[in-house]
Amino acid sequence: MFKAKLKEAVICFGAGRVTLDYPFEPVKVPPKFRGKIEFDPRKCIACGGCANVCPPRCIVIEDMGEVAKLTFHLDRCIQCARCYEVCPEDAIWPTEQFETATPDKNDLKSEMMVWMSSCQRCGRCFEYDNAIDRFPSKRWRGRGPGEANKHGIFPTKPPIAFRPPPLVREEEP
Amino acid sequence: MAVQKEYLLDLWTHFPDVLEGLQEDVPGQFVATVPREVLPAIAKHAIKQLGARFVISVATDRRSKSGDYSVSYILAFDEQREFLVLHAHVPADDPTIASITPEVPAAGWSEREAFDLVGIRPVGHPDPRRLILPDDFPNDAHPLRREFQYNQLFAFEPQNAPPRKDAPEGATVVPMGPFYPTLEEPAYFRLFLDGEKVVGSDYRGFYNHRAVEKLGDSELNYNQIPFVAQQICGICGQVHSCAYCEAVELATGVDVPMRAKYIRSLLLELERIHSHLLWVGLAGHIIGFDTVLMQLWRIREPVMWLMERVTGNRKHYSSNLIGGVRFDITPEAEEDIRRVMDKVETEFKAVVDAVAIDTQLMSRLKGVGILTEEDARAIAVVGPTARGSNVAIDARVDHPYAAYAELGVQKQVQDGCDVWARTMVRLMEVFESIRLVRKCLDDMPGGPVMAAIERPLPAGRVGLCSVEAARGEAHHYVLTGDDNRPYRWRVRAPTYPNLQAVGVMIEGEQLADVPICIGSYDPCFSCTERVETLELNTDRIKVYSREELEELSRRKTLG
C-alpha cells in the first residue's frame, strides 16, 4: 500500500499548477472553433438554405410574399455549423465569441427582411448537390422600393455585439 | 434464400412456415415478418436455446402505411456477428401482444415502453406499470402514435402516477432521489433496507425523456437528426450520431468512403479515452479518493482541447452526416493527435501503475456490486459492465461498424464480476483505444470523406447499427420513410439495459456501497440535493444531504 501511495504522491507533485486564470485572463479559441454566428444582410439572398438545414430551428425563414423574413434565435443554437456550410453567398459565418450569457433572452434574437422575386434565369434560387438537403425554392432576391433600400434589406433588429465587461480580481483585504 | 447458418436452420425446423419471408437486404441483418401469435415463442426460443442476446424491441405505428401497428424484436447473435429482426403486425383494433418478460427479463422495460409510447399492451407482463411517461400524463395518450403532435398540449392528470412497489415485510424504505447522488440525470430509487443491507429496490426514471424519436419521425430531416442524436448524451454524442448515420446508410445502401469511416473510428476512440478517464476519476471521487479524480481529469483535459482543435468543439464534434463526415483530418491535426496521445499514454500509465496495486482502493472495490455471469446474460447488460462479468461482447468486434473490421480490436474481459473488474476493464481499454487511434492514423486511406447522394433516400428500408460507447452498446434502429425523414427511429442507449441490472447488483450490499455500485456501470454522474430516509414504523424522516451521503460512502474507505 505504501508503495502505491508513494507513487501517487510523486504524480501529484510532478503535475504542478494546471489551472488557467480564466476568466481574468481571456482564452484564445482554436481557429476551427464554432462560436456564435454572425450574418451580413447585404450578402443574404434569402434562399432559406440555412433555415432548411438548421436542426434546432435556430434560423427561421418566413415567406411573406414580396418579403422574406429571417429570424435568428441564437438561444437555440447548438453550434453545429451547418448554416455556414451550406450558405452559397458566405452571408453567415462563425465568430470566436462563446460568452453569450445575457439576462434578457431577447438579446439573442435578431431579424432581417429581404425583398424577393422569382429568378429570371432558371426560376430556381439555389440547388444543392446533396439530395437530402435539397428543397424547392423558386425565388430570388429582388430590389426594394426606393433608393433608401438599395440592397432591399430591413435590418429590423440588428444583432447585439456581446462583449462582457472584463472581470477584475478583487484585492485581498 | 439459402439458409446455411446453424441457428437459422434450427429456427427453421422449429417454426417451419414462419421464416419463409426471411430477407437479408443488409449483409448480416436478417429481417423476417412473422404472425403475432408465434413472435414471442420464436424470440424466447432464440434467446433461451440458441443464445441470442435481446437487444431491444421496437413498437411502430404503421397505420398510415399498412393500417396496423407492428412490434419488432431485435436479437443479436454475437458469435455469428449477425442481427435478426422479427416483425409482427398487430391489428389496430386489438393492440396487444403476449409478453416475453417472464422468460426474458431483458425485455421488461421495452415492453412497458411499447405500451407507454405506442399503446401496445404486453399481456402477462409481471410489472406493467408506467415507465416513460410523466406521472400526470393522460392515460389514453400515446405520443408515438401518428395523430399525436410533437407539441400537443393537454390537461395534467396527476392521479395517473404509477403505483409504488411494496417493500418486503419489516424493511426500511430509503428513497434516493429524485436526483441521484452520483447521476447527472434525475433518477428515483427506493431502496428496501434490512439494517444496512439492501434487500430490494424500486426504480422510477425517465424524468428527462425528451421525445427525440418523435421529433425524428415528424419534424426533422435525415441530415438534421445526427445533430439532435449527438445531444442525447453529453459524453457519447459521437456514438449516437454515428450509430444513426450508419443505420441509415446501411438501410439505404449509401456507400461511405473509407476515409470517412476511419475518421469516425478515430473520433469514437478519442471519445472513449476521455470518457473512461472521466469515469475512473469519478469512481475515485465517490469513494473519497480525490487524488484519482484530480489527476485523471488533469490527464483528460488535453484530450478535450485536442478535440476542440480538431473538430471545433470540445464535446459535440458535429462531424457526421448521412454519407460521411464533414471535415478531414489534416496532417497538422494528425501530428497534434499523435503528440497528445503520447503524453496521455505516459501519464495514464503512471497512474495505473500506482492505483492497480493500491490495496486500500481494492478493499473498497473488490467483491462489491457482484453481478454474476448468469445474471449479466439474463439481463443482457452491455459494455464494461458485461465484460467485467466475463461476458465477452464488444460491438466493435461482434458487429463491426465504421472502420473497425479493418482495425482489429482486442476485447478486454475480466471475470471478477465486481466493481474492481469493471474498473480494470476500463483501465485496459484506454490503452487499447490509444493503440487504435494510432492505428487509425497509420492506416487511414486517402480520398473523399463524403459520399455523393444524388437521389432521395428510398422508403421502407430497415437498418440497424450497434456502436460500442464507453459505457456499452448503443443501438439505433431506423425504418426509412417518404418525406426525407425516418418513419421510425429507435434509440437504445447503453444505460437502458444496464440500469435494469442495478436491482440485482445492489441486493445484499450495504447502503454506503450503493453509490459506487450504481456508479460502476458508468451512468452520467452528478450531484443531488438530498436523500430522504423514511422509517416505515415510526414515520420518522431522516434527510441526508448530498454531503452526508457522500460522507457515508467516503467514511467507509477510511475504515
Q: What confidence tens digit (pLDDT) does each residue in B490-541 have?
A: 998 888 888 777 777 788 888 888 878 777 766 643 222 222 333 333 334 4
Smallest Cβ distance to B322: which of A3, A34, A132? A132
- Neighbour-count burial for B334-353, b at 16+ CB within 10 Å, e otherwise: bebbeebbeebbebbebbbe
Q: Which three cell numbers stand for residue B419?
A: 466493481
Query: Has residue B187 got a pLDDT over 70?
Result: yes
Spatial separation of the C-alpha atoms in residues B416 and B401, rounded to whole Å: 29
Q: Give the residue-averaged pLDDT of B42-46.
A: 90
- Neighbour-count burial for B93-102, b at 16+ CB within 10 Å, e otherwise: eebbbbbbbe
- Which phi and psi (to 5°) does residue B36 adopt? -60, -35
Residues of B within 8 A of A50 (CB-CB) are none
Query: Has residue B158 got a pLDDT over 80?
Result: yes
pLDDT averaged over every residue in chain B: 86
For B292-443, list the strands marked E by DSSP: 320-321, 324-325
Q: Give the residue-averaged pLDDT of B545-558.
A: 67
Share of chain B above pLDDT 70, in %: 91
Query: Do residue B316 and residue A29 have CB atoms under 8 angstroms apart?
Result: no
Q: Which three cell numbers stand for residue B452?
A: 455523393
- Helix B331-355 with B290-311: angle, nearest 10 deg: 170
- Taking CA–CA distances from A2, the nearest residue in chain B reads B358
Query: Has residue B326 got a pLDDT over 80?
Result: yes
Query: Do residue B312 and residue A33 have CB atoms under 8 angstroms apart?
Result: yes
Query: Has residue B331 got a pLDDT over 60?
Result: yes
| CA-to-CA separations, B232 to B48, B202, B211, B241, B494, in angstroms, rounded | 32, 25, 10, 9, 12
What was the pLDDT predicted at B520? 78
| CA-to-CA separations, B253 to B26, B250, B461, B463, in angstroms, rounded | 8, 5, 10, 10
Q: Give the residue-averaged pLDDT of B287-308.
A: 92
- Taking CA–CA distances from A9, the nearest residue in chain B reads B291
Smallest Cβ distance to A4: which of B309, B347, B354? B354
- Residue ranges and CATH numbers for the domains of chain A are 30-157 (3.30.70.20)
With residue B76 as reference, give the H or E element that holds it: strand B68-77
Q: Which of A155-169, B323-337, B494-508 has the lowest mean pLDDT?
A: A155-169
Residues of B within 8 A of A80 (CB-CB) are 227, 316, 318
More confident residue, B340 or A119: B340
Number of neighbouring beta carbons within 10 Å of residue B2: 6
Query: Do residue B224 and residue A79 have CB atoms under 8 angstroms apart?
Result: no
Residues of A within 8 A of B347 (CB-CB) are 11
pLDDT band at A162 (very low <50, low <70, confident <90, very high): low
Q: Which three cell numbers stand for residue B1?
A: 434464400
Q: Give the residue-averaged pLDDT of B77-103.
A: 91
Smallest Cβ distance to A7: which of B313, B354, B359? B354
Q: Does B323 touch chain A (CB under 8 A)?
A: yes
Residues of B within 8 A of A131 (CB-CB) are 453-457
Residues of B within 8 A of A95 (CB-CB) are none
More confident residue, B551 or A85: A85
Interface size between A and B, measured as CB pairs under 8 A: 95
Q: Does B329 touch chain A (CB under 8 A)?
A: no
pTM comes to: 0.89
Q: Read off the pLDDT of residues B212-238 as tens digits, 9 standing for 90 and up.
A: 888 888 888 899 999 988 888 888 889
| Cβ–Cβ < 8 Å for A133, B452 | no
Smallest Cβ distance to B223: which of A53, A56, A78? A53
Q: Which three cell numbers stand for residue B531?
A: 436523500
Which residues sit opposite B476 in a β-bridge?
A: B465, B491
Spatial separation of the C-alpha atoms in residues B270 and B266, rounded to whole Å: 6
pLDDT band at A5 (very low <50, low <70, confident <90, very high): confident
Spatial separation of the C-alpha atoms in residues A73 and B129, rounded to whole Å: 40
Q: Read off the pLDDT of residues B362-389 as tens digits, 9 standing for 90 and up.
A: 888 888 888 899 888 888 889 999 999 9
Share of chain A above pLDDT 70, in %: 72
> How distant is the Cα of A136 from the closest Cα of chain B, in angstroms?
13
Q: Does B558 touch chain A (CB under 8 A)?
A: no
- Residue ranges and CATH numbers for the domains of chain B are 6-163 (3.30.460.80), 171-207+499-559 (3.30.390), 212-493 (1.10.645.10)
Smallest Cβ distance to A132: which of B223, B318, B354? B223
For A41-135, list the strands marked E by DSSP: 59-64, 67-73, 92-94, 109-118
